[in-house]
Amino acid sequence: MRVAQVAKKDVVFDLGNVLLRWDPRHLYRKVFADEARMERFLSEACSLAWIQSIDGVHDFAAPIAIRAKEFPEFADELALFDTRWLETLDGAIEDNLSLMRALKAQGRPVYGLTNYPAQKFDLSRAIHPFSTNSTRSSCPGARA
């Protein structure tokens, strides 16, 4: 990939769905035998709106416990969003990763940004070390 030389400006990459493929279906397809039941779970109990509402919390346990009371038929599956969260990631988005590396090679300041809780960020960077190859990374609850 060729990246044109331009003035040095900071570049920020988000992790979820920019550098890493993220979708709860990556996890829940392994859990649900019935696709329709999984989609019901993801549209009602573990909806994107609910997931976004807990983005940035320090720990998923408390909001999941509250949600499990609202959807007791999905309590076990909701708990997996915390305990098996890493399985919601499905590898790197190579084109974007190549761009990040090319920009870094040019000496551009590159930053990573995510709304993953710090403990989930730590898990993800253990298996996707490029996620912290930026000059600096930022996530809720993490120390700079």
Taking only the tens place, the pLDDT of each residue in 65-89 is: 999 999 999 999 999 999 999 999 9
Instruction: Please give the angle made by the CA atoms of 43, 45 and 51, to the nearest 5 degrees.
Output: 80
Decide if pLDDT at 138 tops 50.
no
Q: Which residues of 78-108 are buried (b: 16+ CB within 10 A; e: fewer)?
A: bbbbbeebebbbeebbeeebebbeebeeeeb
Q: What is the pLDDT of residue 32?
A: 98
Tokens of 92: 């790197």
Going from N- to C-terminal start, the domains of the chain cover 11-19+93-138, 23-88
Q: Mean per-residue pLDDT for 16-37? A: 94
Q: What is the pLDDT of residue 130?
A: 62
Instruction: Please give the angle made by the CA atoms of 94, 95 and 96, to the nearest 5 degrees.
Output: 90
Q: What would the pLDDT profile of 51-63 be if each residue is shown by its tens digit?
A: 999 887 778 999 9
